[in-house]
Chain A
Amino acid sequence: MLSSQKINLSKIAAKAITPLSFRTFASSAVARNVSINLHQGSFESYNCDAPSLEVNISKEELVRMYKSMVVMRRMEMASDGLYKAKLIRGFCHLCTGQEAVAVGMETALTAEDKIITAYRCHGFTYMRGGSITSILAELLGRKAGISGGKGGSMHMFTPNFYGGNGIVGAQVPLGAGISFAQKYLGNKAATFSLYGDGASNQGQVFEAYNMAKLWELPSVFVCENNRYGMGTAANRSSANTSYFKRGDYIPGLKVNGMDVLAVHQAVAYAKEWTVSGKGPLLLEMETYRYGGHSMSDPGTTYRTREEIQHMRSNNDPITGLKQRLLEFNVITEDEMKAIDKAARVEVDQAVEEAKASPEPDVDQLFTQIYQKEAGVKSLRGREPEETHYY
């Protein structure tokens, strides 16, 4: 059975790398496309063929990838600063180092596709259309926040981004349900459910795998393996650290998650796979978080500084793409500097806007608990006069 599947897969693999017609930014200027060869070790497959190592992509798209990653990193630096200035309270999980995952995914998807992830969600929110101001304002708990300032760090959503979730693993079966609805409604789109190497050990992840395969859902399970779940190294939490193989009956791909083009290629492949009716697929993005788990974790007690430094200087997704842009004459060094500068200005301005936004109105404490029309007329406060009426 598996071998017959493999034969089908090779066709898909071949198809996935050609014109990428389903992309958001399908470029009209075909002449401006470049063809880039990925490194040999970019993919490892399980019960499926690996995508081609040759990426055809427009120069605009490459520049957009670069710009997005630079903005994302700036934005997280700003979050870091705001947290240390005690303006952001509560919990705050930065994605610095993991930018290629959110960016490479987005360039391979359309607005019809859905994404859901855990608390390390600032980058995805940005890629799925959230403005920098609305993200920073949410972190600050301000009115201009993307959830009206009600949730903070883990609670960010856009129309095709289902969050942002603080309960580790909880988002994965939700993703299966979202993809079922897509299939049921006849949408030609897929759902990407992200979770970490730590989260991959929650039982509900496996429950979701089973449903997705049983019902052949257009569900892509994406494990962001950044090697640690809080202070616990992957090999100390997981009996099998080949996360792409953990779907057993679901084929999988391991992807160099520090290379935005490899991510892009794998996600395009996964979308094609699921939307063409092949059922679910697993992707393991090998990535790395530069900072601690959250702001209260220095991130250096359970791993060496050398390890962090090594990843930063040899595998950085922004540096990697930068080299490619120069190598293929996509843009000049000066143009890149201008992008960097513009990103800083944009983020700085967003910081000021977010800081200027007031806290939400206090009556927001009582809203959005139930649907207004659902027949809940009031919420009880401490005494009869304190009952809040809708």
Chain B
Amino acid sequence: MSMTFLRSPRLATSLSTASKNFVQQASVKHLHTSMKNQYAAPASPPPAEGFLPGVANSKLIKHTHHDALRNPELAGVANGETKKMNTFQAVNDAMGIALATDDTACVFGEDVAFGGVFRCTMGLSEMFGRDRVFNTPLSEQAIAGFGIGMAAMGSTAIAEIQFADYIFPAFDQLVNEAAKYRYRSGGEFNVGGLCIRTPCGAVGHGGHYHSQHPEAHFAHTPGLKVVVPRSPIQAKGLLLASIRDRNPVIFMEPKILYRAAVEMVPVGDYELPLGKAEILTQGKDLTIVGWGAQLYVLENAIQLAQKKMPGLSVELIDLRTILPWDVETVCNSVNKTGRLLIAHEAPKTQGFAAEIASTVMERCFLRLEAPIQRICSYDTPFPLVFEKFHVPDMIRCAEGIERAMKF
């Protein structure tokens, strides 16, 4: 029986001493922060949303007011205040603004009036009333269908599906009704006011049914938009844009990021553009595309690779919107660097990396200097104890970078 998938740990031992130290430091830091932040009370269970070490110290996180507002996309709120917020608070803030600025907007889902499993809707029913923020029965198919009907009347429906793993009972409604209403009614009706929020992704212990990252299922459906934010500032702006966008949007929130790091989030009303990727670091040797929590893994992987390949210059891109995705930004970057690596948490076969790779191959064929690397989860159900082997971790990503560079 082949054990080749164990290469990652072996690779770790073959890394240079410098990178080994990095790995050790990272894990010591992990232990330290996790003990401090999460396990202070001995009897309290680990948080349902898991814990991703290192995000709080990430360079991708905007720790200060000035850092946050330097972003030209935030020009509209550049003179306003910012406030410390975690991702779940930023999501909450966005919904608060949506409810305050749109009388037709309602928020509903399982237990959302009590704040929801991840506290994202905390306080909203008290502030806006139980007739606008309400609990639904346990009926995903009907939650989606109800939202579609509401949106067809021109209202704004902000629905929560408690975990992305539970969105499949609603799959028919989203794919056949939400996505096609405008088209099949010749423009008479549309469900532009529908936004489905759903927590997704690996958390360290979620097992088969609390870990999946199903963006690719929906990316196969013209008529839907699919968005995945990476941080508090991004979550607020992208969620407001998703709620107000005149198309049905599925907004997937990587749940491991809910409490992972605070940013200085503008308190005002702002939107970030859908369908637009963001270049996080400029580079010339290699383009790396990711979204959501995977970006922090990639950030570490890039550092690890740079220890081994000093001077390596990477262009890291947050795709942000999965559908419709920003072909221009990605292809311009690959035309410049000649190399591309895509990483995502969903399994490899038919994952969204395949779509990106295919388009880049068509558009940048003569510029490519190495095979496009797809670093993804394995083609297995999401495992419980093997999560650490399953997901595209830092070392597998670093290995992919090396492969792309040394081809």
Contacts and interface: CB of A to CB of B under 8 A. Distances in A.
B135 A365 contact: no
Interface in B360-395: 374-376, 378-381, 383-386, 389-390, 392
B386 A362 contact: yes
Assign chain A's interface to a size class.
35 or more
B46 A86 contact: yes
B135 A232 contact: yes
Interface stretch (B1-9, B89-97, B300-308): B1-9
B396 interface: yes
A238 B138 CA distance: 9
A307 interface: no
Contact of B138 (A90, A201, A383): A201
A381 B5 contact: yes
Interface stretch (A163-171, A259-267, A332-340): A163-171
A381 B385 contact: no
Interface string A114-156: 0000000000000000000000000001000000011111110
A379 interface: yes
Given A152-B207, A166-B209, A301-B114, A236 B135 contact: yes
A57 to B, nearest CB: 36
Contacts of A386: 4-5, 7
Contacts of B385: 141, 149-150, 152, 359-360
Contacts of B396: 382
A380 B389 contact: no
B375 A382 contact: yes
A238 B137 contact: yes
B48 interface: yes
Contact of B389 (A149, A203, A365): A365
Contacts of A169: 138, 169
Interface in A195-253: 198-199, 201-204, 229-232, 236-238
* Max chain A Cβ within 10 angstroms of own Cβ: one of B111, B135, B137, B403: B137
Nearest to A360: B385
A236 B210 CA distance: 25
Nearest to A200: B138
B119 to A, nearest CB: 12
B4 A381 contact: yes
A270 B253 CA distance: 45
A149, A167, A382 — which one has the most chain B CB atoms within 10 A of its CB?
A382
Given A381-B5, A382-B378, A237 B137 contact: yes
Given A295-B45, A360-B385, A380-B348, A369 B380 contact: yes
A389 to B, nearest CB: 6
A382 B348 contact: yes
B110 interface: yes
B205 interface: yes
A91 interface: yes
A197 B79 CA distance: 51
Contacts, number: 143
A201 B379 contact: no
Contacts of B205: 89-90
A265 B357 CA distance: 62
A344 B17 CA distance: 51
A296 B48 contact: yes
A84 interface: yes
Given A86-B46, A199-B138, A203-B141, A362 B4 contact: no
B3 A363 contact: yes
Contacts of B2: 387-389
Given A167-B169, A237-B137, A296 B47 contact: yes
Given A86-B46, A382-B396, A201 B139 contact: yes
Contacts of A360: 385-386
Interface in A63-106: 83-84, 86, 89-91
A380 to B, nearest CB: 6
B40 interface: no
Nearest to A363: B1
A329 interface: no
Contact of A231 (B114, B140, B210): B114
Interface in B320-364: 348-349
Contacts of B110: 230, 232
Interface string A293-312: 00110000110000000000
A241 to B, nearest CB: 12
Contacts of A362: 3, 5-6, 386, 389
A365 B138 contact: no
Q: Which of B6, B165, B209 has the most CB of A within 10 A?
A: B209
A386 B375 CA distance: 12
Interface in A346-374: 359-360, 362-366, 369
B206 A90 contact: yes
A170 to B, nearest CB: 8
A385 interface: yes
Nearest to A195: B138
B379 A380 contact: yes
Contacts of B381: 369
Contacts of A238: 137
A29 B403 CA distance: 75
B208 A151 contact: yes
Greatest chain A CB density within 10 A among B139, B169, B375 is at B139
A86 B6 CA distance: 26
B208 A166 contact: yes
B154 interface: no
Nearest to B210: A91
B209 A89 contact: no
Nearest to B211: A90
Contacts of B42: 84
B166 interface: yes
Nearest to B117: A230
A365 B381 CA distance: 9
Given A202-B138, A388-B5, 12 more contacts: A90-B210, A141-B384, A154-B207, A155-B207, A167-B168, A167-B169, A201-B137, A360-B386, A362-B3, A365-B383, A380-B349, A381-B378
User: What 4 A-B pairs are tightest by C-beta distance, nearest first?
Assistant: A89-B205, A166-B209, A201-B137, A141-B385
24 contacts: A86-B46, A89-B205, A90-B205, A90-B206, A91-B207, A141-B385, A152-B207, A152-B384, A155-B207, A167-B165, A169-B138, A169-B169, A202-B138, A202-B139, A202-B141, A230-B117, A232-B111, A237-B138, A362-B3, A362-B386, A363-B1, A381-B379, A385-B4, A386-B7
